[in-house]
């Protein structure tokens, strides 16, 4: 335990006199205010779009907001459901509703991506490179190349990295990781823009979803070698603009819990384990050019994030215990921990239905995120300094107003769902980026856990991480500062509709002394902005 220190600091002028007294609570230290508060500046609340959420099954209205685009510094790939609901009327609508890229499985065949053999001569996709994404699932490696390592990591020591060049007339051995990774270069054919001299992938983003990394990997070195070799081979066969990342490994995975112990965790072994030869790796074609390199050295971004389980959507569940599930603590905590462990850009998978699990009502992905959770995910996530997101769903095309399936196992899935959660998610993106996109110009400062708040009217001030806010059942506040502009998101998670809460925020840095009070109703997502004045 640290010894408490008493400091007295006198500040001349309207700021009054401040004292930092001995700590009365665990870290972080509270700062006690003696005397009256300095003048406050009111925030300008961000507008909300007025819309009635849909109640139709298998449908959502993408026009609950008007046109807006994502800042050039951010990226969101659409791999959700129901693009077919609006694409026939306006193919570009998706890119004017906050999404900047689309997965190849959601592209318009023979318009955005050619799927019937080779494209017609002179044909070229209208999609820009950064609008193209490809999620490469494990079945790509298993079904086409017989690489069962993609399912079972313990088969790593049997996996061929690269086969020797075939003798004249002999067939190429396609059952190798090199062949699977290098053949992704053929993606340029589907866009009609292969570079001169050979094929290179012209996707803007390639997301790997193999998920064979477990805590029981028998041969960790082989696993590290294979992931490193795979990423390097993909990048060697892509244009320089292609960014490559994987759902796993990440520096840390909280699995949706946001516990206190997450903040003292260390980097998971596969993330940065350097490649080196094993007893048989040379014979199986591992090349020397990856020696000493790791997955994180070669990947362009990491993908920490979490899917929700049903408890996060149920307001009657306990949410404030260290081990309790909490939607916002999970969204923020995952990013806070990984931001501390690694400077690599972060791009999370997001899904606004529950994933499957052992909790009650979690057997099927049938429950949509409540309005505040869907909207709040689309806002608070970006306050962590994340680079991008991948908006995913287990369903693709939607057919509205279908009768419920007779099979109970299929009820509540796909067309049987109500997709109003998509409307709330898009609304959150609209509130943030339509009105404040200018702040995301690369010069912004994300305060994260350094966001300083008072929960007792300005008597004491704290800088809390997501777990500390959760376990104290305080309102969540996060802020972005860019020059003299401050943007603040706040909410009291799981509050009842007529419940009111108040929290204060201050920013005393870089010549500014800014104070404001935020009034919260229920669990609505507050978003407000102000211009700060420098201390004279």
Q: What is the pLDDT of residue 215?
A: 66
DSSP string, 195-221: PTTS--B--SEEEEE-----TT-S-HH
Asked if residue 54 is part of any domain, the answer here is: no
> How confident is the model over 207-240, as pLDDT tens digits?
999 999 776 788 999 999 999 999 999 999 999 9
Q: What is the pLDDT of residue 4?
A: 36
Q: Are residues 126 and 209 in the same domain?
A: yes
Q: Identify the bridge partners of residue 208 per DSSP, sorted by sequence position.
A: 136, 246
- What's the pTM? 0.92
> How confident is the model over 96-154, as pLDDT tens digits?
999 999 999 999 999 999 998 899 899 999 999 999 999 999 999 999 999 999 999 99
Q: What is the pLDDT of residue 32?
A: 47
Q: Are residues 125 and 30 in the same domain?
A: no
Q: Are residues 152 and 257 in the same domain?
A: yes
Q: Are residues 162 and 288 in the same domain?
A: yes
Q: Are residues 123 and 32 in the same domain?
A: no
The Cα–Cα gap between 474 and 520 comes to 12
Q: What is the pLDDT of residue 100?
A: 98
The Cα–Cα gap between 350 and 421 comes to 12
Asked if residue 331 is part of any domain, the answer here is: no
Confidence of residue 453 (pLDDT cuts 50, 70, 90): very high
Asked if residue 311 is part of any domain, the answer here is: no
Asked if residue 214 is part of any domain, the answer here is: yes
Backbone angles phi, psi at 395, to 5 degrees: -120, 155
The Cα–Cα gap between 466 and 48 comes to 26
Q: What is the pLDDT of residue 197?
A: 84
Q: Which of 40, 32, 28 has the alpha carbon at shortest distance from 462?
A: 28
Q: What is the pLDDT of residue 274?
A: 98
Q: What is the 3 state secondary structure string of 149-168?
A: HHCCHHHHHHCCCCCCCCCC
**Cα separations in angstroms, 151 against 105, 161, 252, 331:** 22, 16, 21, 28
Among 276, 303, 330, the domain boundary falls at 303
The Cα–Cα gap between 490 and 525 comes to 6
CB-based contacts of 357, cutoff 8 Å, min separation 6? 309, 310
Asked if residue 364 is part of any domain, the answer here is: no
In percent, how much of the chain has pLDDT > 70?
93
Among 249, 273, 303, the domain boundary falls at 303
Asked if residue 343 is part of any domain, the answer here is: no
Is 26 a residue whose pLDDT tops 80? no
Q: Are residues 173 and 275 in the same domain?
A: yes
Q: What is the pLDDT of residue 289?
A: 97
Is 34 a residue whose pLDDT tops 90? no
Lowest mean pLDDT segment, chosen from 38-47, 55-64, 191-200, 211-220: 211-220
Asked if residue 157 is part of any domain, the answer here is: yes
DSSP code, position 192: T
Confidence of residue 93 (pLDDT cuts 50, 70, 90): very high
Among 303, 335, 352, the domain boundary falls at 303
Structural domain boundaries, residue 32: 1-36
The bridge status of strand 476-482 relative to strand 445-446 is antiparallel
Q: Return the axis-axis angle of helices 371-380 and 420-429, rounded to nearest 10°.
A: 30
Confidence of residue 166 (pLDDT cuts 50, 70, 90): confident
Q: Are residues 20 and 109 in the same domain?
A: no
> How confident is the model over 454-471, as pLDDT tens digits?
999 999 999 999 999 999
Strands (E), 313-427: 347-350, 388-392
Query: Which whole number is the average pLDDT over 361-377?
Result: 97
Total structural domains within the chain: 2
Q: Are residues 31 and 107 in the same domain?
A: no
Computed over every residue of the chain, the mean pLDDT equals 93
Q: What is the pLDDT of residue 426?
A: 98
Q: Are residues 241 and 152 in the same domain?
A: yes
Q: What is the pLDDT of residue 5?
A: 35
Q: Are residues 10 and 147 in the same domain?
A: no
The CA-based angle 333-337-71, given to 5 degrees, is 75
Q: Are residues 130 and 264 in the same domain?
A: yes
Lowest mean pLDDT segment, chosen from 135-149, 215-229, 249-263, 282-296: 215-229
Query: Which whole number is the average pLDDT over 245-274?
Result: 96
> How confident is the model over 304-334, as pLDDT tens digits?
998 999 999 999 999 999 999 999 999 999 9
Q: Are residues 143 and 31 in the same domain?
A: no
The Cα–Cα gap between 462 and 479 comes to 14
Query: Which whole number is the average pLDDT over 148-162?
Result: 95
Asked if residue 270 is part of any domain, the answer here is: yes
Lowest mean pLDDT segment, chosen from 19-33, 291-305, 510-524: 19-33
Q: What is the pLDDT of residue 30?
A: 52
């Amino acid at each position: 335990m640290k010894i408490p220190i008493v400091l007295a600091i006198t500040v001349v002028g309207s700021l009054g006199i401040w004292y930092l007294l001995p700590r009365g609570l665990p870290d972080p230290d509270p700062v006690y205010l003696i005397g009256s508060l300095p003048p406050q500046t009111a925030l300008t609340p961000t507008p909300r779009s007025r819309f009635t959420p849909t109640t139709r099954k298998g449908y959502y209205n993408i026009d609950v907001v008007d046109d807006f685009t994502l800042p050039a510094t951010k990226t969101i790939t659409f791999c959700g459901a129901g693009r077919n609901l609006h694409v026939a009327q306006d193919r570009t609508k998706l890119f004017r509703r906050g999404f900047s890229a689309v997965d190849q499985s959601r592209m318009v065949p023979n318009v955005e991506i050619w799927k019937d053999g080779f494209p017609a001569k002179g044909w070229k996709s209208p999609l820009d490179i950064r609008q193209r994404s490809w999620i490469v699932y494990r079945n790509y490696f298993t079904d086409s190349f017989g690489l069962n390592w993609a399912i079972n990591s313990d088969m790593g020591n049997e996996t061929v990295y690269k086969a020797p060049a075939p003798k004249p007339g002999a067939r190429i051995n396609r059952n190798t990781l090199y062949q699977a990774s290098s053949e992704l270069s053929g993606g340029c054919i589907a866009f009609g823009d292969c570079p001169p001299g050979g094929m290179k992938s012209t996707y803007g983003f390639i997301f790997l979803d193999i998920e064979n990394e477990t805590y029981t990997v028998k041969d960790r070195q082989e696993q590290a070698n294979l992931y490193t070799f795979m990423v390097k081979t993909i990048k060697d066969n892509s244009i320089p603009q292609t960014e490559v990342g994987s759902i796993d490994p990440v520096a840390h995975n909280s699995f949706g819990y946001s516990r206190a112990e997450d903040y003292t965790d260390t980097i998971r072994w596969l993330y940065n384990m350097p490649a080196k030869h094993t007893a048989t790796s040379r014979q199986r074609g591992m090349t020397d050019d990856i020696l000493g390199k790791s997955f994180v050295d070669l990947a362009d971004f990491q993908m920490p994030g979490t899917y929700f389980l049903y408890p996060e959507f149920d307001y009657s569940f306990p949410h404030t215990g260290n081990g309790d599930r909490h939607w916002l603590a999970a969204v923020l905590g995952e990013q806070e921990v990984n931001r501390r462990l690694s400077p690599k850009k972060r791009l999370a998978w997001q899904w606004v239905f529950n994933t499957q699990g052992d909790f009650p009502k979690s057997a099927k992905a049938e429950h949509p995120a409540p309005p505040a959770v869907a909207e709040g995910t689309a806002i608070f996530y970006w306050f962590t300094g994340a680079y991008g997101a991948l908006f995913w769903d287990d369903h693709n095309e939607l057919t509205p107003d279908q009768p419920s399936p007779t099979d109970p196992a299929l009820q509540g899935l796909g067309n049987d769902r109500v997709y109003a959660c998509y409307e709330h998610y898009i609304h959150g993106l609209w509130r943030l980026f339509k009105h404040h996109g200018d702040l995301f110009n690369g010069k912004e400062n994300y305060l994260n856990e350094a966001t300083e708040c008072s929960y007792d009217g300005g008597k004491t001030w704290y800088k809390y991480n997501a777990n500390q806010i959760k376990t104290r059942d305080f309102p969540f506040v996060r802020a972005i500062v860019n020059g003299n502009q401050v943007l603040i998101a706040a909410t009291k998670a799981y509050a009842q509709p007529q419940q009111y809460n108040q929290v204060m925020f201050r920013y005393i840095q870089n010549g500014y002394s800014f104070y404001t009070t935020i009034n919260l109703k229920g669990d609505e997502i507050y978003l407000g902005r102000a211009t700060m004045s420098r201390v004279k």
